[in-house]
Amino acid sequence: MVELETPQMNSVFHALGDATRRRMLRDLAKGERTVSQLAEPFAISLAAASKHIKVLENAGLLRREVRGRTHLCRLDPGPLAGAHEWLSFYERFWTDRLDALERLLREEDQRQSPSPKTTRKKGDDQ
């Protein structure tokens, strides 16, 4: 299991904690983008976009290449795999808990369901 308390993993979860950065990563999953292209969907300045990109870069989630005056960004999925592995533990934990809850609820329903009755016809009481 991946250890959460490492500087790398902490920076990955910090980076993923912001909706703008998550959207930038989603855009990068489609292919490399310039800083301007990453900033475009948001009402933010290029300076603000650069700050978000720097957080993603520090977390190892993207690689930036400078070509002349253009900064090209590319997704680096490696750290996401570590975060996914860490989260999978909790997915299994909650799946097990929810399965146990479902079993308990089904058992409770079975105990509370009236047993099937035989229907009586009028006049059978005698």
CA proximity to 76, closest of 34, 33, 25, 4: 25
User: Who wins on pLDDT, 104 or 6?
Assistant: 104
pLDDT at position 91: 81
pLDDT tens digits along 40-84: 999 999 999 999 999 999 999 999 999 999 999 999 999 988 888
Question: Class assignment of domain 7-78?
Answer: mainly alpha
Record the pTM.
0.69
pLDDT at position 37: 95
